[in-house]
Amino acid sequence: MPVDKNMKVLIVDDYKTMLRIVRNLLKQLGFMNVDEATDGSMALQLLRNAPYGLVISDWNMEPMTGLQLLKEVRADPKLKGVPFIMVTAESKSENVIAAKEAGVSNYIVKPFNAETLKTKMSSVLGDF
């Protein structure tokens, strides 16, 4: 089944510049329907109010981190199936393990390039 590029994508990062960069990279990949949140709690609110096809989240945010957001998403029966990619500077093995155990769909370490973003999105959503 082809990837629906009109799906809503939620990007979560406390650096507004980073949100802008990811939004533009997604736009270049053909994903135009992008919403933004600057922390986990704001993201959770958006996720509970509309259907999203993908979450791309930073880890290190306050007050709710990306890992906490991931756990909340996976614990919510209505949201638990939403693909969730962590994009973070946290590159320690224990971080990857913790994210994987919490149910992350894929993991991108910053700084990243557009090809890596596309590859990881494809592995989660299917080729596009």
**Measured from the CB atom, is 27 or 51 closer to another protein?**
27
Shortest separation between residue 111's beta carbon and another protein, angstroms: 4
**Measured from the CB atom, is 15 or 51 closer to another protein?**
15
82 HSE (CA, 13 A, CB side): 33
Shortest separation between residue 28's beta carbon and another protein, angstroms: 6
Using CB under 8 A as the binding rule, whether residue 45 contacts another protein is answered as no
**Measured from the CB atom, is 45 or 89 closer to another protein?**
89
Using CB under 8 A as the binding rule, whether residue 20 contacts another protein is answered as yes
Shortest separation between residue 105's beta carbon and another protein, angstroms: 10
Using CB under 8 A as the binding rule, whether residue 13 contacts another protein is answered as yes
Question: With 0-12 CB in 10 A as exposed, 13-18 as middle and 19+ as buried, what is 45?
Answer: exposed
Strand 9-12 versus strand 84-88 pairing type: unpaired
Strand 34-37 versus strand 84-88 pairing type: unpaired
Ramachandran region, residue 30 (left: φ > 0; alpha: ψ -120 to 50; beta: rest):
left
